[in-house]
Structure 1
Amino acid sequence: MTLDADIGARVRSARMRRGLSLRAVAKSLDLSPAALSQVETGKTRLTVTRLNKIAEVLGKTVDEVLAAPLGAPARADVLDHPADGVVGSSPSLMATISDWRQYGPLDFDPVLQGALRVFVTTGYHGATVRDVARECDMSVSGIYHYYPSKHDMLYKILDLGVSELLHRSELARAEGHNAVERFSLMIESLVLFHTYRSDVGFVGASEMRSLHKGDAREDIASRRMQQQRMIDAEVLAAVNEGYFHTPHPLDASRSIVAMCTAVAQWFNIDGPQTPAALAAKHVIFGLDLMRYHPR
């Protein structure tokens, strides 16, 4: 490694460990993201003046920047994305969701946000990496620096989506005092997710088949089945407790989940129905399909 490359790599490491995006730091330095990227990859020599300015932006001394360890950050969920919004969803970030009914902005990194918009608009097979790069205002080579392929973007979108869905479902389930309450709360959570995260839900439903056969597809499929089994367990418990009287409980459970996930294909956040109202209706639909009778 050349001296320029070594210094650039340590600048990049120090920036990532501060949780700052390439674009944010470049803006503070009055540089373009591409120019700062050239510095971090050792393709442009770093002057003493600029190194001092970078250290100032990072809140470190020059010596601390030059001593930054090479390699991955200590936090595996801190990613180096060339736009604001450095951190993508991760198990550690899932822990910050304490109220499963509350939704903030989608916590995807900028590349995934762009890929999601393109996949929704043109479909996975109709999209190109160049389309994603254009949507993110990045170069194609810049995209490949963070995601090796279009398939990796799709897998990551589905991975983060199903992780959030399962986490919220578990929180909802924990609030129930009996099987019927747990079933109802999970149905509510399922519909809320597919309204507030309708783009993620839409891509998950329409592009699951586009995942390569093997580990990626099996991973997403197994976690989606985990969601189904959580609801199946409460359905069977409600049958045993004498609340649900359908002769086909598991078939009904799959139909209800399919009905809830299909919301993502038609729901409009600016339409006449609120997510909460739609979720409440689907709880009623689910209880009716289960032939619910209070004891």
Structure 2
Amino acid sequence: MATAADLSVPGLHHHYISKQSLLRAIWRFAMNDLWEREGGGRAEHIAARSRQQRLMDALPEEGAANGLFSTPSPREVSRAVVRMCTGVSQWYRPGGELSPAHLAEQYRVVARMTVGAPATT
């Protein structure tokens, strides 16, 4: 990145004190660009997000309708599970207390309990 910006690595660190701050700046730029666009990119992003949410909504709704899940609120469960999973990127750190496998197992149990299914299969 430093080379592409015609900077040295120390010069890049003068503007961004850490890789995390650089990534935040890139994310902010990308999100601002997306939200400022008229039509195209923003509409595509929203449509893709909506399609994904509808797919996730269908799972607990079908499970509740078929008696597999006991949740009285399948749509809210779907939203909660999606937020739980997308939120991992805000706090997870490689080398932290949870390995990816352990985190996935914990989230599997929480998701099953949220829809009203037994924690074990």
Output one character per residue of 1:67-126: Cα deviation in whole Å (capped at 9) or x when no partner. xxxxxxxxxxxxxxxxxxxxxxxxxxxxxxxxxxxxxxxxxxxxxxxxx9834257525x
Gaps of 5+ in 2: 1-19
Secondary structure of 2:87 counterpart? helix
Q: Distance in 2 between matches of 1:229 and 1:281?
A: 24
Give how far 1:280 is off: 1.4
Judged with a 3 Å threshold, the aligned counterparts in structure 2 of structure 1 residues 260 and 208 are, in CA distance, closer, same or farther, namely: farther
Q: Secondary structure at the match of 1:124?
A: helix
Give the alignment of 1:62-77 within 5 angstroms.
none
- Counterpart for residue 84 of structure 2: 259
Change (3 A) 1:121 1:209: closer
* C-alpha distance in structure 1 between counterparts of 2:111 and 2:89, whole Å: 17
1:211 to 24, 32, 35: 35
| Aligned residue number for residue 24 of structure 2 | 120
Cα–Cα, structure 1 residues 234 and 119, in superposed 2: closer, same or farther, change >3 Å? same
Q: Which residue of structure 1 lines up, in the alignment, with residue 117 of structure 2?
A: 292
1:268 is matched with: 93
Query: SS of 1:272's equivalent?
Result: coil
Contact 2:60/2:77 (<8 A) preserved? no
1:221 deviation in Å?
A: 1.4
Gaps of 5+ in 1: 1-115, 126-153, 155-206
- TM-score (ref. length: structure 1): 0.30
Aligned to 1:283: 108
Structure with the bigger RCO (C-alpha within 8 Å, sep 6+) is: 2
Q: 8 Å contact 1:124–1:210 — kept in the other structure?
A: no
1:232 aligns with 2:57: yes
Larger Rg: 1
- The alpha-carbon deviation at position 208 of structure 1 amounts to 6.9
Amino acid at match of 2:35: L
Q: Aligned residues: percent identity?
A: 27
Displacement after TM superposition at 1:253 (Å): 0.6
Alpha-carbon RMSD: 2.8
Q: What CA distance in whole angstroms lies between the structure 2 residues aligned with 1:121 and 1:273?
A: 27
Question: TM (normalized to structure 2)?
Answer: 0.69
